[in-house]
Structure 1
Amino acid sequence: MDITDFYDTFFEEAEELLADMERHLLELDVDEPDTEQLNAIFRAAHSIKGGAGTFGFDILQKTTHLFENLLDHTRKGELTLRRDIVDTFLETKDMLNDQLDAYRNGDEPDQEAFERICRTLQQIALEEIGQDLEGGTGAAPKPAAPPKTPEPEPQATDGAAGEGERLVVTLLNVGEKDRQLLVEELAQLGDVIAQGGDESRYEVTLASSVSGDDIEAVMCFIVDADQVQIRSAPHGQAAQAEAMTETVQPAEATPPKPDAEPANSAAASAGNEKQVTTASAPRTKSKGKPKAKSGGESTSIRVSVDKVDQIINLVGELIITQSMLDQTVSELDVVSDGALLNGMSLLQRNARDLQEAVMSIRMIPMDFVFSRFPRVVRETAGKLGKEIELVTEGESTELDKSLTERIIDPLTHLVRNSLDHGIEPPDVREAAGKSRTGKLVLSAKHQGGNIIIEVIDDGAGLNRDRLLTKARENGLPVSDTMSDDEVWQLIFAPGFSTAKEVTDVSGRGVGMDVVKRNIQGMGGHVQIMSRPGEGTTIRIVLPLTLAILDGMSIKVGSEMFILPLSAVLESLQPAKEDLYAMAGDDVVLKVRDEYLPVVAVHEALDVPDAKTELTETIAVIVQGEGRRYALLVDDLVGQQQVVVKNLETNYRKVPGVSAATILGDGSVALILDITGLHRLSRAKKEKRRPERKPSLEALTDQELET
């Protein structure tokens, strides 16, 4: 049997356990720690240790062994928590992540870092509880607990079994190879008294001091949770199992318990019932359905992202083919070919439903992103000496997986920027009549075909005069007549920083410009709203996915182009009195008291045979990077959903174009980049201007002489 087949499952589930561990550690109240949270942290460490031992990851196993022993003392009240101890636990969690990554990459973890964290954990144990952590497993210290009167209740709640406790582990629909591996793992957690059954139901009777929950957690690295059932074995059944397997310890297993005090027997029965309830509840909750007797089916599967992308690409090709067929049959006669047309209509609906269903596979909740920030806020606030309350809203809002991974770094920069520059120190806030604790809100919500992510702080807000002064010092072209929106956008200029000194948090003038570029690279834009003394809101607007786009088809000359529908505001026929010539070749269009730069698509992209008379064209008002433009096109064809094809991967980067798609007739249409198109148009105008400069300069000199 090749045990490496289970590596990926172990790595993925261990990462999830570490993420849960970090969340619980950050939520812990050091003054009154929640018992359930402490137990959850302990179980996570114990499960990882069990899996690491199974796969031979020695350093990971040893680290988690020491960590779980320290956690066991903590959950039993023998170690009093402090903030610095929780910080050490978080550091240990980071070390476990590093070790996991090393094993994933086929390397050995850093030995020096391993020895350092082991010394740190041992030192805490010696200083706080007066003993080291080398004795036994995390469950071994439990026999020392009975002298303490309050301890039996928490242990019973946790589902821990006594030293002589008998458990029956039932494996449902588990193949022979997996079953052998599971029995070997059970042998490491206790003594296997008896085993037997077939593939549909295989029972292992185990004597173990490890709780049913912990055993189940280790088993679930190999099989699904609903393929494992754990219950306490009745005393008679345990004795019978021992007799059948000729175990040499019958006296220890059977007589003492029936002869024990009646009160203890009743208590043991009650404890057994509670353990069964505790062990089975998570499975019922995770399934969300009644019983599962259909071959141990699970409600979720782990699939490689590459496989999902391949399915999405195939569905995209199917949609393109369907569009081609639809265009072909649209010319047929409704009467004579009615059945075919009805079939095509049904195919179109089914194809759209299939497309939406497949796309939803890639959608994951924003909690995947937001869950990383309690740690960031905690550590950054600690470095800055600030008190911060983090609030998250809209964690269930879904976004494409590829975008959630790419938004983490920009969002981290924005959060750190709000903590450093936005929220004031406690004394300053108090002097201003505010609460000493600043508030940082991360929110996400859907709006049309976009997702809106906001970073909101209740700090001092942006200072307009200070930003303008700093911009002038950096040589940026600014003026006092600039709108607030334009001034706020200055913080995204390369090298721009208002920090008085450079720290490890900020001040180097890098980061914010990268934030803007990255968000634009995802097809989004950034907006800033700020009020002095009240705080700042930074809003990120992103498309829900980069694979499918709702677009507007436009025609310029004989060429077809696609505009992202989310960027289109309106369209109109420009009137002569609304067009104004500016210096050089620039033209602006007046739309309801707002003057918009005019971008002629045929000039920017060198499209022949297009309409050149401005009043004969159609002006499409679009928005990009917070600014509005008027794109001049020949015709509006209609709206349609298109499959986005990466142009750089299949060809090369083209200025003014973000991607491409295939239309129903098989032709390729370019998807336009609004801001890139405007920059391309300006660049072409700049190239033409030098030819006119001499005559303009001569005219100016002549006027000056006269």
Structure 2
Amino acid sequence: MSVDLSQFIPSFLEESFEGLELMESGLLDLKPGDNETIHSIFRAAHSIKGGAGTFGFDSVTEFTHLVETLLDEMRDNRREVTSKDTEILLDSVDCMRLLIEAARDDEDYDHDKVSKTSARLSETLGEQQSTEGDSEIEHDDSKNGGSGYHIKFIPEHSLAKTGNDPIFLFSALAELGELTICANTEELPALMDIDAQELYLSWQLTLITEAEEAEIIEIFEWVEDECLLELEPITDISDEETSQNLAEDVNSDVNQSAGAPQSNNVANQEPLDSNEVAAVVENKNKETKGKAKADLGSIRVGVDKVDSLINLVGELVITQSMLSELGNDFDMSKVERLTSGLEQLLQNTKELQESVMRIRMLPISFAFNRFPRLVHDLAIKTGKEMELVISGEQTELDKTVMEQIGDPLVHLVRNAADHGIESKEVRLASGKPEKGTISLDAYHQGGNIVIEIKDDGAGINTKTVLDKAIDKGLIDANATLTDSQVYDLLFEPGFSTAAEVTDISGRGVGMDVVKRNIQSLGGRIQVESALGKGSTFKVNLPLTLAILDGQLVKVGTETYIIPLISIVESLQIDNTLINRVSGDMVLYRLRDDNVPVLPVYKMFHLETECTEIDKALLVVVEADGQKIGLMVDDLLAQQQVVIKSLNDNYQQVAGISGATILGDGSVAMILDIPGMIMMALEQAQKAQRLRTDGTSHIAEEVCL
């Protein structure tokens, strides 16, 4: 009987990555004498090794065996927990992740890194063994059983249902020495009576090896509760009579357990030698690895969320049945019931939508989990004392957003460690604790999530930033900027205040990418800082990329959607507050701000009756700290809309971030506010160039 193990690979991979996270977090917190943590780390490594062996991921198994051996010595108090060993184990976790990812994707891995770490592990283990004395080095025949073992292996019929395949157990045994296999088929029923989920065979194995008994028992550890396993040492390899007797015992035990008549006949099947076992396993491994590239685009969903969905679907079915009944012989006397049914359908649909969206929501701890290790490594590289404090890790965020926010957060944490936290000497001289603190916090605010990256370091020196910006030609030497505008300079491409380039930062690459990536998610980033006290970077993100809250506006015959997160306010235009600059740029005085006015109809070449600014409405929007006023004909309703990508269905259009289908079936475009601001700036620059060339009458046509 053969079980398709590839169906279990996704579960193994998911559990393995969780195990690696557990190992990493445990190692970062590991203290001498903390046996409970060592045990949990060991169990995680042991589970990964066992699972990798089952699926034929030999490189994972071999490497993890070294890790497990080192942890076993710590677990048995044969080795003290040192910072050196902890660092080796952390590097080993990185290598295990590389190997598992390579097995998952059926790709190659960094052999040099794995080999070097493997050599360090072997060297560390060798150092320990060399201190244990000559008595430990000598072989003890009472432990290794002489030259080998006779192994009686009688699995329960249900063994295969748990995903265990004896062929992989035999493969692991064959690696220890010369293996001979004798199968007993006495319990095999007639072909018509075979249950494909049952295992009817048992085996007598002869293993010629110098391995210890514990190593053999460890191979069967995964199935020890589902089989009868007996080991008898072989003292004479040529003892064929003993082997034959044990084989007969297998038959006897199997027949007795099945209630069948006694039989001393061994199955008429030639034993497989170790080479044949290896060939069978190799073929099976090729099958398994061919399917190893599993789709990891999965989410673990709580039963409560599934139950909620089931209940809502039940409510929808009831509502649909009620509406269908009303449709039979409909007359005006049923209008009230129809209206009530449609309201109920609307409510059910809204609740179903919210429930489905909650399924995609995951605790942000999935993104935060990488940072304790990152800060640990940065502390070692920079020679600074620092710690990471995480809060709000149970705040939920859409899986897609979380996957894309990881890299920007890494840049911000690295920036805090390198530029923010001072050296121990500087901190002590400033009256601060020698250990700096980097805080990660997440919380909901309105319909968004806010992620704060805060440090208690030196803060941002605005004079240094201004001098560097002037030196790079980013601003004029006489420019007067607010603190907020100065902080925005940090996100300019190529900008860096680092005194020297290191492998952490200083090349001016990263912060501009951070801002661009956050904006691509429909979010924004704000900076707050106090010199000598520290800095805070606030990242505001939508909870999901699939749905947004929007304001519908009318321009000519078209309907557009403006994301509510971008809207500052909407107002009726007061003609006395309109100012024209050089005849080709319109500004609207909004309290203390002069807001540039952008006619939407001109940007998209639409026909409309509202071409005069004093007859239109103004929607003031903000992005990247800049405000503009969108001139529209009318404001319609506010509603949640499902975003459809233009790239997937058509092509990218300047000023448009996506599209949606409205209730009447028509298509409405979703405005890209940062893109529109960029378009407005480009048009203003174009008008300026035309005016400079003496073609001012053309410039008048470019801007209102």
Matches within 5 A, 1:590-601: 590-601=589-600
2:636 equivalent to 1:634: no
Aligned in 2, Cα 1:20/1:210: closer, same or farther, shift over 3 Å? farther
The AA in structure 1 aligned to 2:545 is L
Aligned in 2, Cα 1:480/1:692: closer, same or farther, shift over 3 Å? closer
The AA in structure 2 aligned to 1:22 is E
SS in 1 for 2:443: strand
Shift of 1:690: 4.0
The AA in structure 2 aligned to 1:682 is L
Matches within 5 A, 1:438-587: 438-478=436-476, 479-587=478-586
The AA in structure 2 aligned to 1:181 is N
Contact 2:458 2:532 in 1 (8 A): yes
SS in 2 for 1:337: helix
Paired with 2:496 and 2:121, the residues of 1 have a C-alpha distance of: 40
Contact 2:620 2:629 in 1 (8 A): yes
Percent of paired sites with the same residue: 42
Contact 1:170 1:204 in 2 (8 A): no
Aligned length: 577
1:77 aligns to what?
A: 77
Shift of 1:245: 7.9
The AA in structure 2 aligned to 1:49 is K
Paired with 1:676 and 1:180, the residues of 2 have a C-alpha distance of: 53
The AA in structure 2 aligned to 1:609 is T
Paired with 1:58 and 1:38, the residues of 2 have a C-alpha distance of: 25
Paired with 2:219 and 2:589, the residues of 1 have a C-alpha distance of: 70
1:409 aligns to what?
A: 407
Paired with 2:696 and 2:552, the residues of 1 have a C-alpha distance of: 43
Deviations 1:473-504 (A, max 9, x none): 10012454211100001000011001111110
Paired with 2:379 and 2:228, the residues of 1 have a C-alpha distance of: 48
Select the structure of larger CA radius of gyration.
Answer: 2
The AA in structure 1 aligned to 2:20 is L
Paired with 2:602 and 2:163, the residues of 1 have a C-alpha distance of: 71
Shift of 1:33: 4.1
Deviations 1:369-421 (A, max 9, x none): 11001111111121111011100111011111111111111111111111111
SS in 1 for 2:130: coil
RMSD: 4.3
1:418 aligns to what?
A: 416
The AA in structure 1 aligned to 2:124 is I
Paired with 1:436 and 1:616, the residues of 2 have a C-alpha distance of: 63
The AA in structure 2 aligned to 1:547 is A
1:7 aligns to what?
A: 9
2:297 aligns to what?
A: 305
Shift of 1:337: 2.5
2:643 aligns to what?
A: 644
Q: TM-score when scaled to structure 1? A: 0.73
The AA in structure 1 aligned to 2:357 is M
The AA in structure 2 aligned to 1:178 is K
Deviations 1:568-627 (A, max 9, x none): 232111212222222452222222323222222222222211412222211112221233
The AA in structure 1 aligned to 2:37 is Q
Shift of 1:688: 3.7
2:19 aligns to what?
A: 17
Contact 1:602 1:610 in 2 (8 A): no
Aligned in 2, Cα 1:697/1:16: closer, same or farther, shift over 3 Å? closer
Contact 1:400 1:545 in 2 (8 A): yes
Paired with 2:526 and 2:380, the residues of 1 have a C-alpha distance of: 29
Contact 1:553 1:562 in 2 (8 A): yes
1:371 aligns to what?
A: 369
Matches within 5 A, 1:18-417: 18-29=20-31, 32-107=32-107, 109=109, 111-130=111-130, 177-179=160-162, 181=164, 305=297, 337-417=335-415
Contact 1:471 1:496 in 2 (8 A): yes
Paired with 2:44 and 2:606, the residues of 1 have a C-alpha distance of: 62
2:233 aligns to what?
A: none
2:258 aligns to what?
A: none
Aligned in 2, Cα 1:675/1:105: closer, same or farther, shift over 3 Å? closer
Q: Give structure 2 stretches of 5+ with no counterpart.
A: 144-153, 174-186, 189-194, 203-212, 230-248, 255-293, 301-305, 698-704
Q: Which shifted more, 561-570 or 495-504? A: 561-570
Contact 1:18 1:44 in 2 (8 A): yes
SS in 2 for 1:368: helix
Aligned in 2, Cα 1:463/1:179: closer, same or farther, shift over 3 Å? closer
Shift of 1:437: 0.5
Deviations 1:352-383 (A, max 9, x none): 11211111121111101110011111111211
Shift of 1:694: 4.9
SS in 1 for 2:164: helix
Q: Give structure 1 stretches of 5+ with no counterpart.
A: 145-167, 220-227, 234-242, 249-301, 699-706
Contact 1:170 1:229 in 2 (8 A): no
